[in-house]
Amino acid sequence: RAAPSGQALGPAPGLAAGSLRICLGGLGPKAARFPALEKAITDSAHGGSLPPKETIEEISCEHFSPRSDARGSAEFKRLRAAVLLADTLHAMEAVL
């Protein structure tokens, strides 16, 4: 079954304000950017480093309002997207 997919641009070394772009698909009819979430995650960064995965998941969930369909319930998609985002951001941090 299709799971939410997406990508995040940034963070550059050190999570500076305005440097994070988050775009996710699979949560609605088309892929969308989440500027408020970008700000929330940036605001929660301490000393330019990412918050832990659990915090990102917690922050993210309230920004996603997917619809239930044959591919999954709204709550499943919300959680799945939050985990995906947390994993992606941490993987990028490791690379950068």
Partner 1 sequence: MKIEFILNGKPIQAECPEGESLKSLLKRLGMISVREACDGEGSCGLCTVLLDGAAVNSCLILAAQVQGRDIVTLEHYVHDPLMRTIQKALVDAACVQCGYCTPAVVLAVRDLLSRIPNPDDSQIADALSGIICRCTGYLQFREAIRLAAARASDPSYIPSPPQEFRPELRHVGKDREKVDADVLVRGERAFVEDRVPPDACWIELVGSPFAHAWISEIDTSEAEAMPGVLAVLTCENCPPISYTTAGQGFPEPSPYDQRMFPRKVRHVGDRVAAVLARTREEAKAAAKAIRVTYEVLEPVLSIAQAKAPGAPVIHSGDVSYVSGSPPEGTGVRGDGRDDPVIYQFPLHSDPHRNLAASAQAGIGDTERGFAGADIIIERSYKANRVQSAPLEPHTVFACVDSSRLVLRASTQVPWHVRRIVARIVGLPEHKVRVIKERVGGGFGAKQDIVVEDIAGYLAWITRRPVYFRYTREQEFIASRTRHAMEISVKLGARRDGRLTAILMRLDADTGPYGQHCLTVPMNAISKSLPLLLCDNARFEVKSYYTNLSPAGAYQGYGAPKGSFALQTAMAELAEALGMDQLDLLEMNRVRSGSTIEILKSLGEGREGSAVTLGTCGLGEMIARGRAAFDWDDPKPESPDPDWKIGRGAVIIQQGSGLPGLDAANAEIRLLPDGTALLLSGGADLGTGLDTLTAKVAAEALGLELADISVVSGDTDATPFDKGAYASSGSFFSGKAALLAAEDLKAKIIAAASPLLGEPTEDLRIEHRGRVVGRKGEISFARLGHVSVQGQGHGELVGFGSFKTEHAAFPYGAHFAQVAVNPRTGQVRVQRYHAYQDCGTPINPALAKGQIYGAVLKSIGHSLYEEMLYDEAGRCLNPRFLDYKVPTMAELPEDFVVELMPVDDEVGPYGAKSVSEISVNGAAPALAIAIHDAIGVWIREWPFTPERILRALGKL
Burial status of residue 95 (CB atoms within 10 A of its CB: 0-12, 13-18, 19 or more)? exposed
Taking the least distance from each CB to partner 1, the nearer of 47 and 69 is 69
Tokens 């979430």 belong to: 37
Interacting residues with partner 1 between 49 and 78 (CB under 8 A): 70, 72-73, 75-76
Annotate each residue in 1-20 with x if it binds partner 1 (CB under 8 A) or - if it does not, as one string: x-x-----------------
In angstroms, the Cα distances linking 39 to 27, 56, 79 are 20, 12, 19
**Binding interface with partner 1 (CB under 8 A):** 1, 3, 70, 72-73, 75-76, 79-80, 83-84
